[in-house]
Amino acid sequence: MTDTIRILIADDQDLVRGALAALLSMEPDLEVVAQAGRGDEVLALVREFDVDVALLDIEMPGANGIDVAEALRDAGIPTRALIVTTFGRPGYLRRAMAAGAAGFVVKDTPAEQLADAVRAVFRGERVVDPALAAETLDFGVNPLTGREMDVLNAARDGSSVREIAKKLMLSGGTVRNHLSSAMGKTGAANRAEAVHIALERGWLLE
Protein backbone atom coordinates (compact mmCIF):
# COMPACT_ATOMS: atom_id res chain seq x y z
CA MET A 1 0.00 0.00 0.00
CA THR A 2 1.35 3.42 -0.99
CA ASP A 3 0.84 6.74 0.75
CA THR A 4 -0.94 8.14 -2.31
CA ILE A 5 -4.38 6.95 -3.41
CA ARG A 6 -4.43 6.44 -7.17
CA ILE A 7 -7.72 7.57 -8.75
CA LEU A 8 -9.48 7.11 -12.07
CA ILE A 9 -12.36 9.43 -13.03
CA ALA A 10 -14.90 8.18 -15.58
CA ASP A 11 -17.45 10.73 -16.80
CA ASP A 12 -18.61 11.53 -20.32
CA GLN A 13 -18.68 15.29 -19.64
CA ASP A 14 -15.21 16.74 -20.15
CA LEU A 15 -15.82 19.78 -17.94
CA VAL A 16 -17.12 17.72 -15.03
CA ARG A 17 -14.29 15.23 -15.34
CA GLY A 18 -11.71 18.00 -15.47
CA ALA A 19 -13.23 19.82 -12.49
CA LEU A 20 -13.26 16.67 -10.35
CA ALA A 21 -9.68 15.92 -11.32
CA ALA A 22 -8.55 19.44 -10.45
CA LEU A 23 -10.31 19.40 -7.07
CA LEU A 24 -9.05 15.99 -6.00
CA SER A 25 -5.51 16.65 -7.21
CA MET A 26 -5.25 19.49 -4.70
CA GLU A 27 -5.27 16.89 -1.91
CA PRO A 28 -1.72 15.78 -1.03
CA ASP A 29 -2.66 12.11 -0.64
CA LEU A 30 -4.77 11.82 -3.80
CA GLU A 31 -3.51 11.46 -7.37
CA VAL A 32 -5.68 11.31 -10.48
CA VAL A 33 -3.74 8.90 -12.70
CA ALA A 34 -6.34 8.22 -15.42
CA GLN A 35 -9.53 9.61 -16.93
CA ALA A 36 -12.16 8.03 -19.16
CA GLY A 37 -15.08 9.41 -21.14
CA ARG A 38 -16.65 6.00 -21.73
CA GLY A 39 -17.59 3.20 -19.39
CA ASP A 40 -16.09 0.51 -21.60
CA GLU A 41 -12.64 2.11 -21.28
CA VAL A 42 -12.46 1.75 -17.51
CA LEU A 43 -11.31 -1.83 -16.96
CA ALA A 44 -8.28 -1.52 -19.24
CA LEU A 45 -7.25 1.81 -17.66
CA VAL A 46 -7.71 0.46 -14.13
CA ARG A 47 -5.31 -2.38 -14.91
CA GLU A 48 -2.83 -0.17 -16.78
CA PHE A 49 -2.57 2.50 -14.08
CA ASP A 50 -2.99 0.30 -10.98
CA VAL A 51 -5.98 2.36 -9.83
CA ASP A 52 -7.05 2.22 -6.16
CA VAL A 53 -10.41 4.02 -6.45
CA ALA A 54 -12.52 4.52 -9.60
CA LEU A 55 -15.00 7.40 -9.58
CA LEU A 56 -17.80 6.38 -11.94
CA ASP A 57 -20.65 8.39 -13.39
CA ILE A 58 -23.82 6.39 -14.02
CA GLU A 59 -24.78 7.61 -17.48
CA MET A 60 -21.88 7.06 -19.90
CA PRO A 61 -21.59 5.68 -23.43
CA GLY A 62 -20.18 2.18 -23.75
CA ALA A 63 -21.27 1.01 -20.30
CA ASN A 64 -22.99 2.72 -17.39
CA GLY A 65 -21.21 3.16 -14.08
CA ILE A 66 -23.24 0.48 -12.29
CA ASP A 67 -22.32 -2.11 -14.93
CA VAL A 68 -18.67 -1.03 -14.68
CA ALA A 69 -18.70 -1.49 -10.91
CA GLU A 70 -20.13 -4.97 -11.39
CA ALA A 71 -17.53 -5.79 -14.04
CA LEU A 72 -14.70 -4.72 -11.71
CA ARG A 73 -16.06 -6.95 -8.98
CA ASP A 74 -16.66 -9.92 -11.26
CA ALA A 75 -13.17 -9.63 -12.74
CA GLY A 76 -11.66 -9.82 -9.26
CA ILE A 77 -10.03 -6.40 -9.65
CA PRO A 78 -9.34 -4.87 -6.21
CA THR A 79 -10.10 -1.31 -7.37
CA ARG A 80 -12.90 0.18 -5.28
CA ALA A 81 -15.81 1.75 -7.20
CA LEU A 82 -17.32 5.04 -6.02
CA ILE A 83 -20.39 6.21 -7.93
CA VAL A 84 -20.37 10.01 -8.34
CA THR A 85 -23.48 11.06 -10.23
CA THR A 86 -26.04 13.75 -10.91
CA PHE A 87 -28.72 11.07 -10.72
CA GLY A 88 -29.27 10.67 -6.99
CA ARG A 89 -32.15 8.23 -7.26
CA PRO A 90 -33.03 5.57 -4.69
CA GLY A 91 -33.21 2.71 -7.19
CA TYR A 92 -29.78 3.60 -8.55
CA LEU A 93 -28.31 3.39 -5.06
CA ARG A 94 -29.71 -0.09 -4.47
CA ARG A 95 -28.49 -1.30 -7.85
CA ALA A 96 -25.04 0.21 -7.35
CA MET A 97 -24.59 -1.42 -3.95
CA ALA A 98 -25.79 -4.76 -5.33
CA ALA A 99 -23.26 -4.40 -8.15
CA GLY A 100 -20.40 -4.09 -5.68
CA ALA A 101 -19.91 -0.32 -5.55
CA ALA A 102 -18.24 0.83 -2.34
CA GLY A 103 -19.91 4.22 -2.31
CA PHE A 104 -22.55 6.46 -3.86
CA VAL A 105 -22.45 10.27 -3.72
CA VAL A 106 -23.91 13.05 -5.83
CA LYS A 107 -21.85 15.49 -7.87
CA ASP A 108 -22.74 18.53 -5.76
CA THR A 109 -21.00 16.94 -2.77
CA PRO A 110 -18.45 19.50 -1.40
CA ALA A 111 -14.88 18.81 -2.53
CA GLU A 112 -13.66 18.08 1.00
CA GLN A 113 -16.43 15.53 1.56
CA LEU A 114 -15.73 13.90 -1.80
CA ALA A 115 -12.05 13.55 -0.91
CA ASP A 116 -13.04 12.01 2.43
CA ALA A 117 -15.34 9.60 0.59
CA VAL A 118 -12.45 8.50 -1.62
CA ARG A 119 -10.29 7.88 1.43
CA ALA A 120 -13.06 5.98 3.18
CA VAL A 121 -13.75 3.58 0.32
CA PHE A 122 -10.00 3.09 -0.10
CA ARG A 123 -9.88 1.97 3.55
CA GLY A 124 -12.58 -0.59 2.81
CA GLU A 125 -15.54 1.37 4.16
CA ARG A 126 -18.85 2.03 2.44
CA VAL A 127 -19.96 5.61 1.86
CA VAL A 128 -23.51 6.61 0.93
CA ASP A 129 -25.10 10.04 0.64
CA PRO A 130 -27.24 10.13 3.83
CA ALA A 131 -30.24 11.90 2.30
CA LEU A 132 -30.34 9.41 -0.54
CA ALA A 133 -30.02 6.49 1.88
CA ALA A 134 -33.07 7.73 3.80
CA GLU A 135 -35.04 8.21 0.58
CA THR A 136 -34.12 4.69 -0.52
CA LEU A 137 -35.57 3.27 2.68
CA ASP A 138 -38.77 5.22 2.07
CA PHE A 139 -39.22 3.83 -1.43
CA GLY A 140 -38.25 0.26 -0.59
CA VAL A 141 -37.11 -2.40 -3.00
CA ASN A 142 -37.82 -2.14 -6.73
CA PRO A 143 -41.12 -4.07 -7.15
CA LEU A 144 -40.78 -4.52 -10.92
CA THR A 145 -39.79 -7.85 -12.42
CA GLY A 146 -37.06 -8.01 -15.04
CA ARG A 147 -39.59 -8.50 -17.82
CA GLU A 148 -41.72 -5.58 -16.57
CA MET A 149 -38.63 -3.37 -16.69
CA ASP A 150 -37.90 -4.61 -20.23
CA VAL A 151 -41.42 -3.73 -21.34
CA LEU A 152 -41.31 -0.27 -19.72
CA ASN A 153 -37.93 0.40 -21.31
CA ALA A 154 -39.35 -0.56 -24.69
CA ALA A 155 -42.34 1.73 -24.07
CA ARG A 156 -40.23 4.79 -23.34
CA ASP A 157 -40.25 6.04 -26.94
CA GLY A 158 -44.03 5.78 -27.21
CA SER A 159 -44.01 2.45 -29.04
CA SER A 160 -47.33 0.68 -29.46
CA VAL A 161 -48.06 -2.68 -27.84
CA ARG A 162 -47.49 -4.33 -31.21
CA GLU A 163 -44.11 -2.60 -31.63
CA ILE A 164 -43.05 -3.53 -28.08
CA ALA A 165 -44.09 -7.13 -28.69
CA LYS A 166 -42.00 -7.22 -31.85
CA LYS A 167 -38.94 -5.72 -30.13
CA LEU A 168 -39.09 -8.17 -27.23
CA MET A 169 -40.40 -11.16 -29.22
CA LEU A 170 -43.46 -11.46 -26.99
CA SER A 171 -47.16 -11.74 -27.72
CA GLY A 172 -49.30 -8.62 -27.56
CA GLY A 173 -51.26 -10.11 -24.67
CA THR A 174 -48.11 -10.74 -22.67
CA VAL A 175 -46.95 -7.16 -23.23
CA ARG A 176 -50.32 -5.83 -22.08
CA ASN A 177 -50.17 -7.99 -18.96
CA HIS A 178 -46.69 -6.74 -18.07
CA LEU A 179 -47.67 -3.12 -18.71
CA SER A 180 -50.78 -3.51 -16.56
CA SER A 181 -48.77 -5.07 -13.75
CA ALA A 182 -46.11 -2.33 -13.93
CA MET A 183 -48.78 0.36 -13.85
CA GLY A 184 -50.33 -1.25 -10.78
CA LYS A 185 -47.00 -1.47 -8.95
CA THR A 186 -46.09 2.15 -9.73
CA GLY A 187 -49.59 3.49 -9.11
CA ALA A 188 -49.60 4.99 -12.61
CA ALA A 189 -52.66 5.81 -14.66
CA ASN A 190 -51.00 4.91 -17.97
CA ARG A 191 -47.81 3.46 -19.39
CA ALA A 192 -46.11 6.86 -19.91
CA GLU A 193 -46.66 7.72 -16.26
CA ALA A 194 -45.38 4.28 -15.23
CA VAL A 195 -42.18 4.89 -17.21
CA HIS A 196 -41.78 8.33 -15.64
CA ILE A 197 -42.24 7.03 -12.09
CA ALA A 198 -39.86 4.11 -12.65
CA LEU A 199 -37.21 6.47 -14.02
CA GLU A 200 -37.62 8.95 -11.17
CA ARG A 201 -37.19 6.22 -8.59
CA GLY A 202 -34.18 4.77 -10.36
CA TRP A 203 -35.87 1.49 -11.22
CA LEU A 204 -34.95 2.08 -14.86
CA LEU A 205 -31.67 3.56 -16.03
CA GLU A 206 -31.96 6.73 -18.12
Question: For position 187, what pLDDT does the model report?
Answer: 85
Clarify whether residues 72 and 134 are in a common domain.
Answer: yes
Task: State the alpha helices, DSSP H only, in 123-171.
Answer: 130-139, 146-155, 161-168
The reply to whether 110 and 34 lie within a common domain is: yes
Specify the CATH number for the domain of residue 190: 1.10.10.10
**pLDDT tens, 99-129?**
899 999 888 888 899 999 999 999 999 998 7
Q: Are 109 and 20 in contact (CB under 8 A)?
A: no
Can you give the residue range of the structural domain that contains 176? 146-200
pLDDT single digits (tens) 23-80: 999 999 999 999 999 999 999 999 999 999 999 998 899 999 999 999 999 999 999 9
Are 116 and 164 in the same domain?
Answer: no
159 and 79 within one domain: no
Structural contact between residues 58 and 31, judged by C-beta atoms closer than 8 angstroms? no
For residue 206, being part of any structural domain is answered with: no
Split at pLDDT 50, 70, 90, the class of 1 is: very low
Please report the pLDDT score of residue 140 as a whole number: 60
Query: 116 and 155: one domain?
Result: no
| pLDDT at 134 exceeding the cut of 90 | no
Q: Do both 31 and 128 map to the same domain?
A: yes
**Poorest-confidence range of 5-9, 107-111, 149-153, 175-179?**
107-111
First to last CA, the chain: 37
138 pLDDT exceeds 90?
Answer: no
The answer to whether residues 86 and 124 belong to one domain is yes
Percent of the chain with pLDDT over 90: 57
Whether 106 and 164 map to the same domain: the answer is: no
Average pLDDT along the chain = 88
205 within some domain:
no
Q: In this structure, which amino acid lies at residue 181?
A: S
- Please tell me the total count of domains within the chain: 2
